[in-house]
Structure 1
Amino acid sequence: MIHVPKLPSVNTHKASILYLLLKGHRIKNKEMWGHIDTGYSASRISELRSDLWLIDDISLREVTKEKKTVVVKQYFIKSIHLSEILRDQNVLDFIAKYEAVHMRKAG
């Protein structure tokens, strides 16, 4: 069984990133600008990794609007780890609490 690291408070940028990763999303730093309204998503991912979350990444080459080729990181939790993590009741409670808090904000 996998050890479940510390879960962040649901009203934080770390929680927003972790929620997406736990839902199976693959995220890029630039995409997080629109979701959490900050350019510091890499710092939050680094903090989650320091908390021992098993977050993997791959480097992708992309072409910008200015026709420049850049390398960006895409972050994810491997499905083998995700399936084990999602068996933990604390993680399921975190997801439910996150959704409840953010549904109220949206509504």
Structure 2
Amino acid sequence: MIKVSVLYPNNPGVRFDLHYYCTQHMDIVRKCLGDALKAIAVDQGLASADPGSQAPFVAMGHLYFDSIESFQKSFAPHAERIMGDLSNFTDSQPLIQISEVKLAP
């Protein structure tokens, strides 16, 4: 199983509408990616390791797939629609990482 993590840096003054992200944006993602998408998780950044410090990421979205090929095949036809929705909830420039899941809850 692989995980596609979309990390939104928590830069000063960043705009991020977590409610929109969790409801509207992830609904678009679910509909576009269909059965290839096995699970979704969303994290809201709270803090860094240092007490009282700001979280490095305002939010993170995690999408789970059976393989990189499954992700690419399902995402490619809908990339424009999914990526085009970003301006509706953030002005942060996301970082994307694809990982192989070795241990999960």
TM-score normalized by the length of structure 1: 0.35
Higher relative contact order (CA 8 A, sep 6+): 2
Whichever structure has more helix as a proportion of its residues is 1
